[in-house]
A and B are shown apart, each in its own frame.
Chain A
Amino acid sequence: MENLTWLRKGACLLAKFSGEITMEVTQDFKHAVEQALEKEDTPALALDLSEVSFMDSSGIGFLVSCNTRLQSLGKRLVLMSPSQQVRKTLGLVQLMDFFAVAESDVDLESMTAKGGK
């Protein structure tokens, strides 16, 4: 999938996406996450959303489904440095507090190490 890069941050698997998260990409994105979770053993998945320029309700739906999927596997989803655009969309539907959000690598490390929010 274009615009999507995977890397390791400590024990955590990190996916960085740049561009727009709309219904044009959510199916592919979901598929890519499924594949990565099958291949990699990780206690948490972090989605780096710092370079997401636009996100609509399909994007929200994608994040919610990721969260549910990871929970069912006993893992965590962390949103990493979401851009202003992502924050705005999540804020509109009052979901900013629903997701675990890390603002930095240190944040991410402490969140995934403790297993807490």
Chain B
Amino acid sequence: MAAGDDIRVLVVDDSKTVLRLLTFILGKLYRLESAEDGQEAIEAHASFKPDVIILDMNMPVKSGLEVMQHIRGVAQDHDVQIVVLTAQDTKVLKARAFAAGANDFLAKPFDREELLARVGAAARQVTLTRRLRQAYNRISREIDTVAGLQKRLLPDCSPLFGDTLVECLYRPSGRASGDYYDFFTLPDGCIRAVMADVSGHGARAAFLMAVVRTLVRVTQTHYLSLAEMLSLANHHLLSSIGQEPDFVTLAAVDIDPDEGTLTYVNAGHCPPLLYTGDRIMELAPTSSVLGFFDQKYPMRTIEFEKPAGLLLYTDGWYEWHTLEKEMFGLERFTELASGLMRSDRFSLQNLLENLCGEKAGPVFSDDVTGLWVCAGSPLSRVFSGRSTPQASRALAKDVVAAVKAYMEDPDILHDLDILLTEACANITRHAYGGGEGPMEVRLRIRPGQSVDMEVVDWGKGFGDAVKFENAAPDSECGRGMFIICKLSDQCELKRRGRENVLRVVKQIRKELWKT
């Protein structure tokens, strides 16, 4: 096989003699196809997908200029090398041809050696472009792998710890990101929540984020205070990136919902907002960023009253430009978030929607990450009971009554009543093998959006016997799950530790909510 065999060359000229000559000279070196006018050239470009086009300028039907305008403008092919061939070797024509997208020029009558040299140069360019693309694709796949791995390091659920709900939102600006958030329970029952931002973007930031995450997670099993956790992270960052411009901002809190205390450290991170007792507190930095120098990390402890909410976020939330081309800014963001937190309708989704305003949403240029920890909110409640028939039905009614405070549509309330009664009845019938045991409904109301429910038991689990299909008309049982699925927008069964969880989401139209 000749060297240029994988290069496709399209020769276009309305003169059969020129076409024959071009075919004779180039045919042994390249895969060749020919066209006799501009229209044929456009069609051959679409079907043959050439790498190089030798293009005559003056042709019937469509001129060489029009062909180039189509290829570059309409077909958006900026890779094909176009060598223009014409008898009019004028400066004006050359300028027009280059402006329309030509890569090279060859005057008629052409010299065989010059033709081979120019097509050879174009073919080399094609090979280089291909290699570049392959390299780019390989790197791109690697970044995708990094982004995929990174995503797995971040929690993606909104669990309830007792009466404390944690909600997260993560929108990386690229594929891999330097934002890190996390939450977990400590051996003493406190909830540790962390928000960090590694400077820069891409794979480098993602790598450093993974380092920080590993060090933070060490403290889940080997207890370290927040100050010790930051010292550990700083120590390792100094040894790896101490001489480089990268740094990490990090805010972390330990929340004791039962005692109503919150301990925090803030290493140069944007101040988390705490809502308690109808006021907003900003948890300002207590130290400088991580990764620059050795320092102490003082902790502060504050008391809070329920309901209380804590918003941890990254600067991507407020570092974006409005339509008036000014930075949205931390001050406006804090004001907006505080207003929503006071209204008891706060959720990260709600915050994002309010940020979007009426005219146009923000075009975020950075990663946007948020963590919302909410203790004792009426929007997040846990209802507990035993799995007797009476208690089971009463539990469903209590949950529906709690929703009624926010939404009074009788049809929707009836739907919720049926699906909760079915879910609780399933536990009564099946979870404890004929005996009784504990059950819980964890309710999360998202005003204007949805009601999310987790119906939980600690029994023997679902096994393979769960039926999601409708039962036969003369069957006396087996319709519960079918009804639940029918009345909800999302319905899934899962085992979480020792818990059997039926998670159900019911979307509710905005206008049906109380204002």
Residues of chain A at the chain B interface (Cβ within 8 Å) = 20, 22-24, 54, 56-58, 60-62, 64-65, 67-68, 85, 88-89, 92-95, 98
Contact = CB atoms under 8 A, between A and B. Distances in A.
B474 A64 contact: yes
B483 A64 contact: no
B506 to A, nearest CB: 14
Nearest to A56: B421
B473 A23 contact: no
Given A23-B425, A60-B479, A93 B470 contact: yes
A65 B476 contact: yes
B197 to A, nearest CB: 48
Given A89-B418, A93-B479, A93-B482, A23 B470 contact: no
28 contacts: A22-B389, A22-B421, A22-B425, A23-B389, A23-B425, A24-B390, A24-B393, A54-B417, A54-B418, A54-B421, A56-B422, A56-B480, A57-B422, A57-B425, A57-B480, A61-B479, A62-B476, A64-B473, A64-B474, A64-B476, A68-B474, A68-B476, A88-B414, A89-B418, A89-B483, A92-B483, A93-B471, A93-B483
Interface in B409-451: 414, 417-418, 421-422, 425, 428-429
B515 interface: no
Interface in B388-410: 389-390, 392-393
Nearest to B420: A56
B498 interface: no
A56 B418 contact: yes
B487 interface: yes
Given A22-B393, A23-B389, A24-B393, A58 B425 contact: yes
Contact of A98 (B392, B417, B425, B473): B473
List the 5 closest pairs (A to B, CB-CB), nearest first.
A61-B476, A57-B479, A24-B389, A56-B421, A98-B473
B393 A94 contact: no
B475 interface: yes
A57 B390 contact: no
B415 to A, nearest CB: 9
Contacts of A23: 389, 392-393, 425, 428-429
Contacts of A54: 414, 417-418, 421
Contact of A61 (B390, B477, B482): B477
Contacts of B483: 56-57, 89, 92-93
A77 to B, nearest CB: 12
B486 interface: yes
Contacts of A67: 474
Nearest to A60: B479
Given A22-B421, A22-B425, A23-B428, A57 B473 contact: no
Contacts of A88: 414, 418
A41 to B, nearest CB: 25
A61 B475 CA distance: 7
B347 to A, nearest CB: 30
A56 B417 CA distance: 9
B279 to A, nearest CB: 43
A56 B471 contact: no
Nearest to A23: B389
Interface in B455-504: 470-471, 473-477, 479-480, 482-483, 486-487
A104 to B, nearest CB: 25
B389 A57 contact: no
Contacts of B428: 23
A60 to B, nearest CB: 6
A54 B419 CA distance: 12
Contacts of B389: 22-24
Contacts of A95: 473
Contacts of B417: 54
B196 to A, nearest CB: 48
Given A85-B414, A93-B479, A94-B470, 9 more contacts: A20-B393, A22-B425, A23-B425, A56-B425, A57-B479, A64-B476, A88-B414, A92-B483, A92-B486
